[in-house]
Amino acid sequence: MRHPKERIFNVPTVILYIIAALVLIEAICDFLPPEIFLKILQRFAFVPGRFTFAFDPDRVFAANDDLTGPGFQLDRYFLGDGRAQWWTLLTYALLHGGWLHVGMNSLWFVAFGSAVARRFGTPRFLVFCVAAALAGAATHFLTHMDSLQPVIGASAVVSGAMAAAVRFVFQPGAPLGEALGFSERAEQDLTYRLPALPLREIVSNRGAISFLAFWFLANFLSGAMSGPLGVTDATIAWEAHIGGFLVGLLAFQWFDPPPIAVHRSNPAR
């Protein structure tokens, strides 16, 4: 019989707080008039062209033809005063292009972020999320240095959590449901603290390689088939997903806490 206080879904508090913040921000933005929302985007979305403009304005002008012309009013708006807004390397991850966008990110974040948050612990997990967001912005910048389209969404952070989870949820002895935090025994079991899967062994792990193939295919399709998010003409920034994913996959050991010793008392004889 299940104890009344036991939950089927054991979602870490840090995950719930992050999702609550994303939903609250989306609700506020949805309530605001479009012109106010545009001002928020100008101030807090990541616009790669602004960073390029800070050291090479001619390149941005050349790539966008005549920014003073009537057809470039929106691009000129997001260029603003041309100064790089460094805080946008993080704040872009708090904004979304609609309820479907924030809903999908939240769903995947619960599914994979829960296991990673339990394994890393809250402080390490928050630093990991920051690193994934920064990597997502950097990757998008490298592939869209002249773009003045705003980038928003927590997808880079979600992708980072998915990649980090790959390093341990497919290990032998780690039931996927328990490792992801979907079991009522997830708080008692140590399945999410099993040794991480070495990178060289991922290619030989059927579960891990299948998941990686699915993830890259999904991102390829999202980049090839995606339409506007409802925010100017911007589409899904799939390159940012890759940046976050690489952090979770390749920098996992930098955030993974040292192994813990597990002592099990023998039952009384």
pLDDT for 24:
97
* pLDDT exceeds cutoff 70 at 228: no
For residue 40, what are the contacts with CB-CB under 8 A and spacing of at least 6?
A: 29, 32, 95
Residue found under tokens 């603290």: 193
Identify the weakest region by mean pLDDT among 103-117, 119-133, 172-186: 172-186
Cα–Cα distance for residue pair 114/116, rounded to 1 Å:
6
For residue 99, what are the contacts with CB-CB under 8 A and spacing of at least 6?
A: 26, 30
pLDDT for 264:
43
Share of the chain above pLDDT 70, in %: 74
Delimit the domains of the chain by residue range: 13-255
pTM of the complete model: 0.82
The mean predicted confidence, pLDDT, of the chain is: 79
* CA 237, 238, 241, 246 torsion-angle sign: negative
Higher per-residue pLDDT: 182 or 16: 16
